[in-house]
Amino acid sequence: MTQTSPAAASQATRSLREPDLRTPIIQVSDLQKTYQTARGALNLFQGLNLQVEAGEMVALVGQSGAGKSTLLHILGALDAPSAGTVYCASTNVANLSTRQAAAFRNREIGYVWQFHYLLPEFTALENVAMPLLARGTNRREATQVAANWLREVGLDDRSDHRPGELSGGEQQRVALARALVNNPRLLLADEPTGDLDEITAGRVFELIERLHRSHGLTSILVTHNLDLAARCTRALRLEGGRLSPLAARPKAAFIPDDLE
């Protein structure tokens, strides 16, 4: 059995926090995003507002091209708003320098994409340890914390596999472990199950739900799967540059047995 150092144990314990419920963790007001294209200006958001409380798991649905990925990029300081205010994890993300944005992402945001973006020449364990090493954690501790995370996503027996030697579902589990290894407050997931078959997608979604709860995360998940969206605490549709609650689908009529 692997021994965990006191430092690694304390890092694992820190991740088991309760969400901070005092203020909304995301507060977007009057957001505008304009791309300049060869055909002229493309106004993607027209005064978009969004408030997310700590601990929520919000699904974001909408047609292709609606701007779902762009919204996640703005929340994660990967892209800048054209106008409006965007507070994310107590940070005004519009005002960050490139260096501050990188530090903000490293500290506060776990990002998962449809494609795993694991580095092919490194093992699963090395891929998960990478954000800790980038943050200056020593190699021994980084390896122990990464091993704990691989255990948490059910892949301790795949730690020395390279991404090409893992299934699609396993690759996404490793990508989740890597996204969360620095104990961010927010998980931003852009179609994390989009490339997986239905059963594997369901299992990866269950893992996200479990990690969301056990690590006190606030999560935003882009998905085209309305069944998975319905399992989130709230589902929003992005359409015409604005967000609105996703209408619940009418339930099938209930007919008692004795009336059939």
Ligand X SMILES: Nc1ncnc2c1ncn2[C@@H]1O[C@H](COP(=O)(O)OP(=O)(O)OP(=O)(O)O)[C@@H](O)[C@H]1O
Binding site for Mg ion (CB under 5 A): 69
Q: Is residue 127 classed exposed, middle or buried when 0-12, 13-18 and 19+ CB atoms within 10 A define those classes? A: buried
The verdict on 66 binding ligand X (CB under 6 A) reads yes
169 binds, among ligand X, Mg ion, none (CB under 5 to 8 A by kind): none
| Rounded CA separation 15/160 (Å) | 24
Interacting residue with ligand X among 3, 13, 37, 97 (CB under 6 A): 37
Interacting residue with ligand X among 8, 28, 31, 44 (CB under 6 A): 44
Q: How many residues bind ligand X (CB under 6 A)?
A: 12
Residue nearer to ligand X on the CB measure, 37 or 98: 37
| Rounded CA separation 106/169 (Å) | 24
Both tokens of 243, joined, read: 């967000």
Residue nearer to ligand X on the CB measure, 19 or 84: 84
With contact defined as beta carbons under 8 Å apart, do 14 and 183 qualify?
Answer: yes
| DSSP state letter for 199 | H
Q: How far is the CB of 113 from ligand X (least distance, A)?
A: 10
37 binds, among ligand X, Mg ion, none (CB under 5 to 8 A by kind): ligand X
CB count, 10 Å around CB of 205?
21
The verdict on 225 binding ligand X (CB under 6 A) reads no
With contact defined as beta carbons under 8 Å apart, do 181 and 145 qualify?
Answer: yes
Q: How far is the CB of 63 from Mg ion (least distance, A)?
A: 10
Name the residue among 9, 217, 232, 234 with its Cα closest to residue 111.
217
Piece of 1-9, 63-71, 172-180, 239-247 that binds ligand X (CB under 6 A): 63-71
Piece of 68-76, 99-107, 173-181, 205-213 that binds ligand X (CB under 6 A): 68-76
Residue nearer to ligand X on the CB measure, 67 or 76: 67
| Rounded CA separation 23/223 (Å) | 26
Residue nearer to ligand X on the CB measure, 8 or 72: 72
What angle is formed at CA 124 by the lines to CA 123 and CA 129, rounded to 5 degrees? 95
Interacting residue with ligand X among 25, 45, 58, 69 (CB under 6 A): 69
Q: How far is the CB of 46 from ligand X (least distance, A)?
A: 13
44 binds, among ligand X, Mg ion, none (CB under 5 to 8 A by kind): ligand X
The verdict on 81 binding ligand X (CB under 6 A) reads no
What angle is formed at CA 19 by the lines to CA 15 and CA 20, rounded to 5 degrees? 120
Alpha-carbon torsion 59, 64, 69, 72, what sign? negative
| Site of interaction with ligand X (CB under 6 A) | 35, 37, 42, 44, 62, 64-70
